[in-house]
Structure 1
Amino acid sequence: MRSLPQQMLLMFIRLPLLVRTFLIAVSLITFFGIIAHFIEPESFPTIFDGVWWAIITASTVGYGDFVPNSTIGKITGILLIITSAGFLSSFFVILSTAAAARQNEHLEGKMTYKGEGHYIIVGWNERSREVIYSLVNEQKSATIALIDETLKKNPLPHSPVHFVQGRSNQDDVLTRANVQSAIKVIITADPTKDELQADMNTILTLLAVKGLNPRVETIVEILTNEQIANATRAGADEIIQTNMLSSFVMLQSLASQDIVTSFLDLLYQLTEKKLVFLNAEQDMLEKDFAEMSFLLLQDGRLLLGVKRGGATILNPPQPFSIEKHDQLIIIT
Structure 2
Amino acid sequence: MKAWQFSPGETPPLALVEQARPVARRGAVVVRMRAVPLLSYLGDYVRGSLARHYQYPEQPFVIGTNGVGVVEAVGEGVHHYKPGQAVLVHPYVMSTENVDDPVEVLSGLTGTGPQSTGLLNDWPDGSLSEFAAVPATVPVSLEGLTHIAWERLASLGKFIVPFGGLRRGRLAAGETVIVNGASGYFGAAAVLLALAMGAERVVATARDVSALQTLAAMDKRVRPVALGGSIEHDTAALREATDGGAHMAFDMVGRACDANSTLSALGALRRRGRLVLMGSMSVPLPLDYGQMLINQWEVIGHFMYSAEDSRRLIRLVRAGLLDLEAVRLQQYALEELPQAMDAAARMRGLDCTVVKLNG
TM normalised by structure 2 equals: 0.30
Q: Between the two structures, name the one with larger relative contact order (CA 8 Å, sep ≥ 6).
A: 2
Which of structures 1 and 2 has the bigger CA Rg? 1
Structure with a larger share of its residues in helix:
1
